[in-house]
Structure 1
Amino acid sequence: MSSIDTITPEPDDAAPVYDRLRTDIIAGVYPPGSALRFAEMQKRYGLGVSRLREALAQLAADRLVIREVNRGFRAPEISLANFDDIAAMRLRLEPEAFRVSVENGDDAWEERIVIAAHRLDRAARRYATDTVSEVQDDWERCHRAFHEALIDACGSPMTLHFCGVLYDHFDRYRRLIGFDEPAQQRLAAQHRLLADCAVERNVAEAEAVLAAHVNQTITVVRPRLETLLG
C-alpha cells in the first residue's frame, strides 16, 4: 500500500480535499480499519482541521469512512459479507442504468463513450508495459470515467449517485486485491465489448454484457479476498 507521507502538502486552494481523500481511501493509502489522524492528514494534504473534518463528514455519509462518536474517523473494515453486499447492489443498479443509456443516449453520449473508450484503451496499453504509480493512476482515472460515461444517459441523477458510491466501494476491494496480467487483458476485451454495445445501440444485450463484466471482476476478487481474510 502507498505511504501516507508521500504527497507534498499543497496550498489551501488546491484540488478539493474531498476528492483527494476519497481517492486515497479507495487506493488503500489508509489500511482497512486504520484511524484517520488529523496530524497525519494535515501533513499530507497541507490543510487545516476544519476543512479535513468537513471532507471526512461527506465521506462518512457514503460510508467511505466510518465516524465513531468521541473517537474520530477511520477507514472502513473489509469483509466478505460487505463485498457481497456491494457487488449485489452494483449488479442490481449499474447494468440497468447502462441498458437505459443505450436506449436513450443521444449522439453526444455516443461520442463521450468513444472518447472514454479510446482513453481507457490507451491507458491500458501503457499500463501493460509500465506499472509505475503515475501510469496506474491514469488507468484508474480512465477506467472510472469510462464506467461513468456508460451510464450517464440513464436520466436518473439518484441512480448515477448511488452507482458512483457503489463503484467506489467495489473499486476499493478490487485495488486492495490487485489484478494479474491475464485478468487485466480480459478486462480490456470486455471494455471494448461494452463500447461496441453502446455505439451499436445493442439494447437487447447491454444489461447482460455489463453484468458479465462486473461478475468477471467478482470471480477474481472474491476468492483472493477470502484467502486474505483467512
Structure 2
Amino acid sequence: MKNPKPKDFPQKRRSAVVAARPVPAAAGGAEDASSAEAFKLLRADIISGELAAGARLRFIELQARYGLGTSPLREALSRLAADRLVLQEVNRGFRVPPLSRADFKDIARLRIELERSAIEAAVRSGDEAWEEGVVLAHHRLRRLGRQEAAPEEPAVPEEWEARHRAYHAALIAACPSPWTLHFCAVLHDQFDRYRRAAGRDPVVQIGLSRQHEQLIEAALARDAARAGAVLAEHIADTAEAVLARMDRIETVAAGE
C-alpha cells in the first residue's frame, strides 16, 4: 500500500478523541502534565491519520500545532517510539512509520492470539463489576448506531471510534494479566492505524457490527470458548476487509 502524502500541520490543533488507552497520571507537576497531553494528542493524530504515514515530525511544526514545548514533545515522541507508533532515526529525528501489508498481517496475527487469550481469561474470571462495564460500554456503542457510512463517506465520527475502542477494552478488562492487557492495547493502536488509513466498507461493517452483539452474548453467558472464537473471527474479518481496501487503493493509485 502506498503511504498517503503527509499532511501540512494546522496551527494549535487539538486532536479528536481516540479511546481508550490510559495515559499515566502526571506526578511531577506542569511538565509531566504537558508530556501526558503531548502523548495523548500525538497518539490520537497518528492513529487517526491526521499525521500521515511517513510524515516527518519536526519540533517547530509540532510546537505550532499543539502549543506545547520541545521537552514534553520529545518525551512523548520517545514513549510513542517505544510502542512503534513513531520511528526515531539517528541524526534524522522522528517520523510516523510507513504502512505495509506484511506489517499489518503480523499485527493482526498477534492481536488475534493475545486478545483471544485475554477475553477467554476475562470471561472466566470477571466479576459483576466487569459484567456491568461490558453492558455499559456496549450500550454506549449501540446508542450511536452501527454507523454504516455511505460508500462516498467512509469515515465515521470520532465519538464512535472512542466508544468502539472502549467496548473492546471492556470485554478484556477482567483479564488478570497486566502484561497481556498492555500488549493488547499496543497492538490495538497499531491495528486501528491501518484500519483507519484503509477506510471502511459499509457492507462489511454490517457483519462486523453483528459480531459485536455476539461478543456480549457470549461474554454474559460466560462461554469463554465462544467469546474467544467470535473475537478471533471479528479481528480476522476486519483485517481481511482492511487488506482488500488496501488492494483497491493501490489499484486506483496505479491507474492515476
Q: TM-score, normalised by structure 2?
A: 0.82
Quick one: distance in 2 between partners of 1:188 and 1:6?
A: 36
Q: What is the deviation of 1:59?
A: 0.1
Question: Compared with structure 1, are the counterparts of its residues 114 and 9 closer, same or farther at alpha carbon in structure 2 (3 Å cutoff)?
Answer: closer
1:140 alignment counterpart = 161
Deviation sequence 1:13-47 (CA, Å, 0-9, x none): 67721011101000001111110111221111100
2:113 alignment counterpart = 92
Quick one: distance in 2 between partners of 1:4 and 1:178?
A: 21
1:110 alignment counterpart = 131
Q: TM-score, normalised by structure 1?
A: 0.91
- Any gaps of 5 or more consecutive residues in structure 2? 16-29, 252-256
- Any gaps of 5 or more consecutive residues in structure 1? none
| 2:192 partner amino acid | D
Q: Are the aligned partners of 1:7 and 1:45 in contact in 2 as well (CA < 8 Å)?
A: yes
| 1:146 partner amino acid | Y
Q: Are the aligned partners of 2:39 and 2:76 in contact in 1 as well (CA < 8 Å)?
A: yes
Q: What is the deviation of 1:142?
A: 0.5
Q: What is the deviation of 1:79?
A: 0.6
Matches within 5 A, 1:1-230: 4-5=9-10, 7-8=12-13, 16-125=37-146, 127-128=147-148, 136-229=157-250
Q: What is the deviation of 1:204?
A: 2.8
Q: Are the aligned partners of 1:27 and 1:175 in contact in 2 as well (CA < 8 Å)?
A: yes
| 1:18 partner amino acid | F
Question: Compared with structure 1, are the counterparts of its residues 3 and 181 closer, same or farther at alpha carbon in structure 2 (3 Å cutoff)?
Answer: farther
| 1:102 partner amino acid | V
| 1:218 partner amino acid | A
Quick one: distance in 2 between partners of 1:102 and 1:4?
A: 43
Q: What is the deviation of 1:124?
A: 3.1
- Tell which deviates more after alignment, 158-167 or 187-196: 187-196
RMSD between aligned alpha carbons?
Answer: 2.5
Q: Are the aligned partners of 1:124 and 1:188 in contact in 2 as well (CA < 8 Å)?
A: no
More helix per residue: 1
Quick one: distance in 2 between partners of 1:9 and 1:215?
A: 33
Question: Compared with structure 1, are the counterparts of its residues 209 and 132 closer, same or farther at alpha carbon in structure 2 (3 Å cutoff)?
Answer: closer
Q: Are the aligned partners of 1:128 and 1:181 in contact in 2 as well (CA < 8 Å)?
A: yes
Quick one: distance in 2 between partners of 1:161 and 1:174?
A: 20
Q: What is the deviation of 1:193?
A: 1.1
Question: Compared with structure 1, are the counterparts of its residues 68 and 38 closer, same or farther at alpha carbon in structure 2 (3 Å cutoff)?
Answer: same
Question: Compared with structure 1, are the counterparts of its residues 124 and 17 closer, same or farther at alpha carbon in structure 2 (3 Å cutoff)?
Answer: farther
Look up the SS of the partner of 2:94 in the other structure: strand
Quick one: distance in 2 between partners of 1:123 and 1:83?
A: 28
Deviation sequence 1:29-71 (CA, Å, 0-9, x none): 1111110111221111100011100000000001000000111
| 1:210 partner amino acid | L
Quick one: distance in 2 between partners of 1:211 and 1:19?
A: 28
Question: Compared with structure 1, are the counterparts of its residues 188 and 146 closer, same or farther at alpha carbon in structure 2 (3 Å cutoff)?
Answer: same
